[in-house]
Amino acid sequence: MAMKKSTRERVGITILAWVVAFLIFFPILWTFLTSFKSELDAIAMPPKFLFFHWTLENYLEVQSRSNYLRFASNSIILSIGANIVGLIIAVPAAWSMAFAPGRWTKDLLMWMLSTKMMPAVGVLVPIYLIARTLHLLDSLIGIGLVLLLINLPLLVWMLYTYFKEIPVDILEAARMDGASLLNEIVYVLTPMAVPGIASTMLLAVILSWNEAFWTLNLTTSAAAPLTQFIASFSAPEGFFWAKLSAASTLAIAPILILGWFSQKQLVRGLTFGAVK
């Protein structure tokens, strides 16, 4: 009797898990399916799920109307570029906080985190004005800088927790072996922290890729990433749902594929240091 119960329990929980996963995934699935419908089918009531006339016309139209590749390359350059620069700043910062903490280190970490708690819209006007004055509107450097700065607290925090997991005496052994500070970071710390650095970078890239608020406000065409690409399909005449869906699918496809292949690292990154 006990055995049967647990099998039933397990089956029940598995089904429940799949249902929840399906519900969470549903918006993405719906977007994907809608991208293959005609505009009429897209707004049909009752909604059509799988049985409609599948067409590629939306993808063709979306690509002909605006250059997907330019938006995509901007997204790639911004996500990867801003975060590589971020890492170069964050690695030494996290090192000093983890291995040479001072009186104010804990306060500094809290303060950095607190900057993420404020809604971005609160500083929209000042940042916009600064960007305009410095001629950084619609430039890769301008938006790159902003993306760098919003991710920096996250990079430092995550690297800090990964570095804290590294036993201090291994670094001391390196010092006794005659390694200078730079050698210690390059030959010992970084190789040991590579999984942590990779998870951090992955999460940061995903966040920058999806960042919509600043990219929509500070770019128009030259530096516009894929977020602008999607937004351009919501016109004053109304939403072109099918084309919007096609654009959205094209925009999230790369990051979705990246996320699928790096699931393990992502999960590790998101639960960093939580289980010691």
The footprint of other proteins (CB under 8 A) covers: 167, 169-170, 172-180, 183, 187-188, 191-192
Q: Identify whether the C-beta of residue 109 lies closer than 8 Å to the C-beta of residue 97.
A: yes
Q: Judged by CB, which is closer to other proteins: 9, or 165?
A: 165
Minimum Å gap between C-beta 191 and other proteins is 5
Cβ 34 vs Cβ 57: under 8 Å: no
Cβ proximity to other proteins, 107 vs 172, nearer residue: 172
Contact 147, 76 (CB under 8 A): no
Q: How far is the CB of 173 from other proteins (least distance, A)?
A: 4
In the complex, the smallest distance separating the C-beta of residue 71 from other proteins, rounded to whole angstroms, is 39
Q: What's the min distance (Å) between Cβ of 210 and other proteins?
A: 33
Assign 3-class secondary structure to 64-80. HHCCHHHHHHHHHHHHH
**173 or 257: CB nearest other proteins:** 173
CB of 115 to other proteins, least distance (A): 31
Distance of closest approach, residue 171 Cβ to other proteins, in angstroms: 9
d(CA 3, CA 18) in angstroms, rounded, equals 23
Q: Which residues lie across from 235 on neighbouring strands?
A: 238
Nearer to other proteins, 19 or 168 (CB): 168
**CB contact burial 96-107 (16+ within 10 A = b; e otherwise):** ebbbeeeeeeee
Q: Which residues contact 221 (CB under 8 A, 6 or more apart)?
A: 138, 228
Q: Which residues pair with 238 in a beta bridge?
A: 235
Residue nearer to other proteins on the CB measure, 113 or 170: 170
Task: Indicate the residue among 183 and 210 with the shorter CB distance to other proteins.
Answer: 183
- H/E stretch holding 189 reads none
Contacts of 246 (CB under 8 A, 6+ apart): 35, 58, 59, 61, 62
